[in-house]
Structure 1
Amino acid sequence: MPNYLNGANRQQSGPHKIQEMESGGDDLSLPKATVQKIVSEIIPPDLVFSRDTRDALIECCVEFIMILSTESNDIAEKESKKTIASEHVIQALETLGFHEYIEPVQEVILEHKESQKVREKKVGKLEQSGRSVEELLKEQELLFAQSRSRLNSQQSPP
């Protein structure tokens, strides 16, 4: 297995080579404030996390993401797929030796699928109503007007 972690063997097959991604390397980063917040939540309060350390962590995270996405892309290409699916990411984690990440990733995938089902149900209700968005907006405006009218009639002096 190639040793990606020390920067060796960075040439990859396929249209998305890591070197090509690095040519615009200044554009690749993670939000510093978000990383700082996550780290602050994890480390004990008596430890200090310097900016240099945070920046080094961000560089490592970006490198990890590039390695994982490149491996995932290679797996997808071998299956003649143009889109990286969650299965490709899981296979890439396995190939790269990050076995301890597989279960948490699978849990997040399940959570995402559940949230998508809830979202689809909400969209389904709109479609099942048989009315257009314009009709629903008109009905909503009418309900608002009726509510304002009732509120105004209750507030007017006798």
Structure 2
Amino acid sequence: MDPMDIVGKSKEDASLPKATMTKIIKEMLPADVRVARDAQDLLIECCVEFINLISSESNEVCNKEDKRTIAPEHVLKALQVLGFGEYVEEVYAAYEQHKYETMQDSQRSVKMNSGAEMTEEEAAAEQQRMFAEARARMNGGVTVPQPEQLEEPQQQQQTSLQS
């Protein structure tokens, strides 16, 4: 294969996030099983190669249909052609789940954005409230008064002393 198989990148540059892949590998194994670093790297390389294989075959299926965009159906057909037919049903179920979750997320964001907009003062007050909550969490639940909160009691004391 040509080292420039992947558009715009040499094959050596194509990779998957190591931390994510390591996490996936560890989640798939029993807790008492360890994986050597070399074995993790090999598994990651296998995953990259598998993705390249599926992508390439999906592209061929897409081209045969005179389409310019690879659709999920092309990926499913590529799995069949490459001999991974037993996984098509599970992959399709994962795809449907992804579509459903994506639709739910977009509906939530529409609901959040379609609500009444905050005024600048409300937004500033909300921001201050969130800052106070964050400070309280960082201080173990103990709220530490801010400088502007300390000034008010001092002003009240000065006013009462002047009376």
When normalised by structure 2's length, the TM-score is 0.64
Per-residue deviation, 1:124: 4.9
1:18-71 alpha-carbon deviations (Å, 9 max, x no partner): 862297022111122222211112222332211111111111111110010000
- Structure 1 match to 2:144: none
- Structure 2 match to 1:75: 61
Q: How far apart in 2 are the matches of 1:90 and 1:111?
A: 15
* Matched length: 130
Using CA pairs below 8 Å that are at least 6 residues apart, which structure has the higher relative contact order?
1
Counterpart of 1:25, as a letter, is K
When residues 32 and 125 of structure 1 are mapped into structure 2, their CA distance, relative to the original with a 3 A threshold, is closer
Identity, % of aligned positions: 39
Select the structure of larger CA radius of gyration.
2
Q: How far apart in 2 are the matches of 1:48 and 1:146?
A: 50
How well do the aligned residues superpose, as a CA RMSD in angstroms? 3.2
User: Displaced runs of 4+ in structure 1, greater than 3 A?
Assistant: 122-129, 142-148
When residues 127 and 95 of structure 1 are mapped into structure 2, their CA distance, relative to the original with a 3 A threshold, is same
Q: How far apart in 2 are the matches of 1:59 and 1:42?
A: 17
When normalised by structure 1's length, the TM-score is 0.65
Per-residue deviation, 1:123: 5.5
SS at match of 1:21: coil
Unaligned runs of 5+ in 2: 129-148, 157-163
